A and B are shown apart, each in its own frame.
Chain A
Amino acid sequence: MNTAATTTTDDHADSHDHEHHDPRLAHHFDSHQQQFDTGKLGIWLFLVTEVLFFSGLFGFYAVYRSLHPEVFLYASQFLDTVLGAANTVVLLFSSLTMAWGVRCAQLGQTRGLMVCLVVTLACAAIFLGVKSFEYTEKAHHGLLWAGMYHSPEHHDAAAADGAAGAGDHAHDEAAAAGDHGDDELFEKTKHTLSYMTTVLWVVIVISGIALGLLFKNPNKKTLATVAGCVLVSAAGMVIGAYSSIGYHHFGHAEKPTDEEILMAETVPAEYAAQKEKVPEPKLAGTFFSVYFCMTGLHAIHIIGGMIAISWLIVRTAHGAFTTYYFGAVDFVGLYWHLVDLIWIYLFPLLYLIN
Chain B
Amino acid sequence: MATVVDSSNPKSDFPIQYRELNYLNCSKGWKSWFFTLDHKRIGIMYLIGVTCAFFLGGLFAVLLRTELLSPARILLSADGYNQMFTLHGAIMTFLVIIPGVPAAIGNIILPVMLGAKDVAFPRMNLGSFYLWMFGAAFFLAALALGGLDTGWTFYTPYSITTSTAVITALLGVFILGFSSIFTGLNFIVTIHTMRPPGMTWFKMPLFLWALYATALIQILATPVLGITGLLLVVERAFHIGIFDPALGGDPVLFQHFFWFYSHPAVYVMILPAMGVVSEVIAVHSRKHIFGYRFIAYSSIAIAIFGFLVWGHHMFVSGQSKVVAVVFSAITFSVSIPSAIKVFNWLTTMYKGSIRFTTAMCYALAFLFIFSIGGLTGLFLATLATDIHLHDTYFVVAHFHYVMMGSSLVGLFAAVHHWWPKITGKMFSEFWGRIACLGVFLGFNLTFFPQFLLGTRGMPRRYYTYLPEFQNLHILSTCGAYLLGLSSALMAATLIYSVYRGKKAPANPWGGASLEWQCSSPPPANNFDHPPLAGDPYIMESVVYNEEIGGYVPVECQGAKKGSVTASGDKEA
User: Which residue numbers of A lie inside 8 Å of B, CB to CB?
Assistant: 26-28, 30, 34, 37-38, 41-42, 45-46, 48-50, 52-57, 59-60, 63, 67, 145-148, 282-283, 285-286, 289, 292-293
Contact = CB atoms under 8 A, between A and B. Distances in A.
B445 to A, nearest CB: 41
Contacts of A146: 239-242, 247-249
Interface in B230-249: 231, 234, 238-242, 247-249
B420 interface: no
A41 B192 contact: yes
Contact of A56 (B228, B247, B530): B228
Given A42-B120, A46-B185, A56-B257, A148 B194 contact: no
A139 to B, nearest CB: 12
Tell me the interface secondary structure of chain A in the complex. helix
A119 B231 CA distance: 34
B219 A45 contact: yes
A55 B224 CA distance: 7
A26 to B, nearest CB: 8
Nearest to B227: A56
B253 A63 contact: yes
A56 B224 contact: yes
B227 A53 contact: yes
A300 to B, nearest CB: 10
Given A52-B223, A60-B231, A147 B241 contact: yes
Contact of A282 (B117, B228, B248, B249): B248
Contacts of B228: 56
Contact of B239 (A34, A37, A46, A147): A147
Nearest to A285: B241
A286 B224 CA distance: 21
A320 B100 CA distance: 38
Contacts of B242: 60, 146, 286, 289, 293
Nearest to B111: A28
Contact of A38 (B120, B231, B525): B120
Contacts of A293: 231, 234, 240, 242
Given A28-B122, A46-B185, A52-B220, 16 more contacts: A28-B117, A28-B118, A42-B189, A45-B189, A49-B181, A52-B219, A53-B226, A54-B227, A59-B257, A67-B250, A146-B240, A146-B241, A148-B239, A286-B242, A289-B241, A292-B240
A59 B193 CA distance: 33
A145 B117 contact: no
B116 interface: yes
A37 B223 contact: no
Contacts of A41: 188-189, 192-193
A34 B194 CA distance: 8
B227 A57 contact: yes
Contact of B241 (A38, A50, A53, A286): A286
A283 B241 contact: yes
Contacts of B224: 52-53, 55-56
A293 B220 CA distance: 21
A45 B241 contact: no
